[in-house]
Amino acid sequence: MEKYIIKLVGTYLNILSYVSPDYAANKALHLFSKPRKGKLTSKHDAFLNTAKKEFLRYDDLRIATYHWKGDKATILLVHGWESNSARWKRKIDTFVEEGFNVIALDAPAHGASGSKFFNALLYAEFINVVSKKHQPQIVIGHSVGGMALVFYQQKYQLDSIQKMVLLGAPSEFEGVLKNYINLLGYNKNIEKGLNRVIINRFGAAPTEFSTSKFAKDISAKGLIIHDMKDPIIPFSDAKLIKLNLRNSRLISTKGLGHSLNNTKVTKSIVDFIKS
């Protein structure tokens, strides 16, 4: 049923693009930027209530943060698309047991944070607000959260950040956008229109927003973990990032999927932090 609805939406916007291509492209970007999932459930709340909650602000948007206090280095956790801070539960349990000071934030339009829409550039600004307050030594991002982390650090160059962990992170925004275009079955009118709209709204073409390119300006020690059969973000993206993130190491996994929510992954991260 969901696949049928997706194709129906794509067909509707394709038809609309022949009448009003810019309007159809704006509608397509609206859909791309609006998560369907990621809000908190009672199960999520039960875990997140074990943390100290605080709301920070970026412009008129609230940023939900969660703090598990510890005496060791501060770790900042940045989740991915259609998720929230509760996705880190297993890793947080381990980090807290190890004595680390752990901070997590909800992305724009996710969890308990504000905004009706999401993009990695706005997420980077949320990360900046939280990082200025907590001055993390280690930052860990999953999926598009990893992309947003790189965008953030490339722009702001926070001195406290010593180590960066990227889990299943995409390299090229252009590739993410192309996957969306293929999923909806959009025609060339909408594809070209999306490029125009993105340039007008963000000041650069989709090809300019690249994790691997931005990583060239980051000096923090890096750990990249990516599953070789990741069905969402191809393993080739991890290799591209590895080429440009100086002083980084790539760990490939098999059978862990995109979530990488596994004790072996957590152990690799802890070993990296302690090294």
Contact indicator for 211, 171 with CB cutoff of 8 Å: yes
Q: Please report the pLDDT score of residue 6 as a whole number.
A: 78
221 and 244 share one domain: yes
CATH code, domain carrying 127: 3.40.50.1820
- Domain boundary (149, 183, 207) is at 207
- Which residues are CB-contacts of 27 (< 8 A; sequence separation ≥ 6)? 13, 16
Tokens linked to 101: 């000071």
197 plus 250 within the same structural domain: no
Residue 206 is predicted with a pLDDT of 96
Q: Are residues 249 and 237 in the same domain?
A: yes
Q: What is the structure's pLDDT at 168?
A: 98
In the 8-state DSSP scheme, what is residue 83?
-
Helices (DSSP H) in the chain: which residue ranges?
2-19, 21-33, 42-48, 89-97, 120-134, 144-156, 173-184, 188-202, 211-214, 235-244, 263-274
How many other CB atoms sit within 10 Å of the CB of residue 95? 25
For residue 22, which phi and psi values (nearest 5 degrees)?
-70, -40
Number of structural domains, the chain?
Answer: 2
Residues 82 and 5 in one domain: no
- Whether residues 181 and 167 share a domain: the answer is no
Please give the pLDDT value at position 65: 98
pLDDT (0 to 100) of residue 5: 73
pLDDT of residue 2: 63
C-alpha to C-alpha distance for 184 and 173, rounded to whole angstroms: 17
One domain, residues 19 and 96: no
Q: Are residues 127 and 202 in the same domain?
A: no
| Last residue within a domain, chosen from 207, 230, 264 | 207
Q: How far is CA 209 from the centre of its chain?
A: 13
Instruction: Give the C-alpha distances (Å, rounded to integers) separating 62 from 11, 47, 148, 156.
Output: 36, 21, 18, 20
What amino acid is encoded at 91 in this protein?
K
pLDDT per residue of the chain (275 residues) written in tens, 0 to 9: 566 677 788 999 999 999 999 999 999 999 999 998 898 999 999 999 999 999 999 999 999 999 999 999 999 999 999 999 999 999 999 999 999 999 999 999 999 999 999 999 999 999 999 999 999 999 999 999 999 999 999 999 999 999 999 999 999 999 999 999 999 999 999 999 999 999 999 999 999 999 999 999 999 999 999 999 999 999 999 999 999 999 999 999 999 999 999 999 999 999 999 99
Question: Would strands 138-142 and 74-78 be described as parallel, antiparallel, or unpaired?
Answer: parallel
Domain boundary among 207, 226, 256: 207
Tell me which residue range forms the domain holding 8: 1-33+174-207
Residues 76 and 86 reside in one and the same domain: yes
What integer pLDDT is reported at residue 36 of this predicted model? 87
Both 20 and 70 in one domain: the answer is no
Same-domain pairing of 187 and 216: no
Whole-Å CA distances, 126 to 119, 162, 188, 201, 271: 11, 20, 34, 19, 28
Q: Are residues 23 and 152 in the same domain?
A: no
Same domain assignment for residues 229 and 243? yes
Tabulate helix, strand, coil % of the chain (nearest 5): 50, 20, 30
